[in-house]
């Protein structure tokens, strides 16, 4: 059971729906968003990314319990969010240390701190960690210290700490491949075990599903890596791996597949507490915005974007559990 101070509990309530489900929208992408413009052969500027994030925040946060933004491009969007939507701010720089393909060490934004994030009006601090449980102690001890350091800051500021973990393998570099799909359950679930330990002071884990559903029987037209029974076992193992609230990230899959995954997770015994969903909700807006402008983007957000997020909310209501049931106020 997670122990929360009254201060952290109040912030957690701001980030969640009244029933303790987390229905959060993620648009803290920086380098990844730039690449989305590049893929369309459209010139990208700082101002364009700021405007797109502001539009997404304005149009979709009426349907979200909170929004995750970055302080590089996202500050105008923090002001545009719905009055009832909580705010998470990313603390890490985009990507990882340059030329560090093996270690993938994270870096904090130089002129930011948990104190400054709280002063900006945020209700929580988020960092992203690339983690391979099977790498050397030399590499992983640095990452553990990094997570501990931010956790101590969040304790000092009495603000919730959301840790996002993206797993990888130092040898199998394509995380969407069949080869990595075989490794993923071990990578994800052991990372859950590690960062649920008390020295990290993590309040919510933002985590991948333990299997790539594109390789699960019944969810793919291609090669199968896991039967449905095997996949269900990995979801249950994941749930058993932590006492903390945890939420799923969409990892760029389609909205339809992400919702199917949540249904499967619940049927498998997963007691996840919601989602922090990004591209599965809003990625379709990038093309009309890039090619036609703000009015076309707003139209997409008010139709397809709204449909994506409201449909996801309905699935969350059927499948998630409340974090209220697994916390103790101290």
Name the phi and psi angles at 229, rounded to 5.
-65, -40
- DSSP class per residue in 169-226: -SS---TTSHHHHHHHHHHHHHHHHHHTSGGG--SEEEE--SS-GGGBTTS-SS--SB
CA distance 201 to 46: 34
Query: For position 113, what pLDDT does the model report?
Result: 98
- Dihedrals φ, ψ of 109, to 5°? -65, 130
Spell out the per-residue pLDDT of the chain, length 330, in tens: 899 999 999 999 999 999 999 999 999 999 889 999 999 999 999 999 999 999 999 999 999 999 999 999 999 999 999 999 999 999 999 888 776 677 899 999 999 999 999 999 999 999 999 999 999 999 999 999 999 999 999 999 999 999 999 999 999 989 999 999 999 999 999 999 999 999 999 999 999 999 999 999 999 888 999 999 999 999 999 999 999 999 999 877 788 989 999 999 999 999 999 999 988 899 999 999 999 999 999 999 999 999 999 999 999 999 999 999 999 999
Chain Cα centroid distance, residue 108: 17
Tally of residues, the chain: 330
Rounded-to-integer distance, Cα 218 and Cα 167, Å: 24
Residue 37 CA to residue 44 CA, distance in Å, equals: 6
pLDDT of residue 237: 98
Q: How many domains does the chain have?
A: 1
Give yes or no for a contact between 207 and 214, defined as CB atoms under 8 angstroms apart.
no
User: Cα(210)–Cα(184) distance, rounded to whole angstroms?
Assistant: 6
Among candidate residues 260, 271, 269, 253, the one with its CA nearest the CA of residue 205: 271
Tokens at 75, concatenated? 């500050």
Which pLDDT score is estimated for 97? 79
| pLDDT score, position 99 | 67
Domain that holds residue 236: 2-329
Question: Is 127 in a helix, a strand, or coil?
Answer: strand
Alpha carbon distance 12, 7 (integer Å)? 9
Closest CA to 226 of 172, 181, 272: 181
Can you give the CATH number for the domain in which 280 is found? 3.20.20.70
Instruction: State the Cα–Cα distance between residues 261 and 211, nearest whole angstrom.
Output: 10
Distance (Å, rounded) from C-alpha 124 to C-alpha 104? 24
Q: What tokens does 320 get?
A: 């998630």
- 22 forms beta bridges with 274
């Amino acid at each position: 059971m997670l122990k929360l101070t009254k201060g952290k509990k109040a912030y957690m309530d701001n980030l969640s729906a009244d029933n303790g489900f987390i229905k959060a929208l993620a648009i803290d992408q920086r380098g990844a968003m730039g690449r989305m413009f590049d893929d369309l052969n459209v010139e990208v500027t700082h101002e364009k990314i700021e405007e797109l994030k502001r539009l997404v925040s304005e149009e979709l946060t009426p349907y979200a319990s909170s929004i995750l933004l970055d302080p590089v491009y996202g500050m105008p969007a923090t002001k545009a969010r719905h009055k009832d939507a909580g705010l998470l701010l990313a603390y890490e720089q985009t990507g990882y240390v340059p030329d560090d393909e093996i270690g993938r060490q994270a870096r904090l934004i130089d002129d930011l701190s948990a104190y400054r994030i709280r002063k900006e009006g945020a209700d929580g601090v988020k960092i992203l960690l690339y983690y391979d449980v099977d790498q050397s102690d030399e590499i992983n001890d640095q990452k553990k210290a990094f997570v501990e350091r931010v956790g101590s800051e969040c304790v000092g500021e009495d603000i919730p700490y959301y840790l996002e973990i993206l797993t990888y393998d130092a040898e199998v570099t394509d995380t969407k491949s069949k080869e990595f799909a075989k490794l993923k359950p071990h990578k994800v679930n052991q990372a859950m075990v590690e960062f649920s330990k008390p020295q990290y002071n993590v309040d919510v884990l933002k985590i991948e599903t333990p299997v790539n559903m594109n390789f699960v029987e019944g969810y793919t037209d291609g090669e199968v890596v896991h039967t449905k029974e095997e996949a269900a076992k990995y979801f249950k193992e994941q749930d058993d791996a932590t006492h903390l609230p945890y939420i799923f990230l969409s990892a760029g899959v389609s909205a339809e597949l992400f919702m199917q995954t949540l249904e499967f997770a619940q049927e498998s015994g997963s007691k996840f507490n919601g989602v922090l969903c990004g591209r599965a909700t809003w990625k379709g807006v990038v093309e009309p915005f890039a090619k036609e402008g703000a009015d076309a983007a707003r139209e997409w957000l008010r139709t397809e974007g709204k449909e994506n997020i409201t449909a996801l909310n309905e699935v969350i209501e059927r499948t998630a559990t409340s974090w209220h049931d697994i916390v103790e106020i101290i």
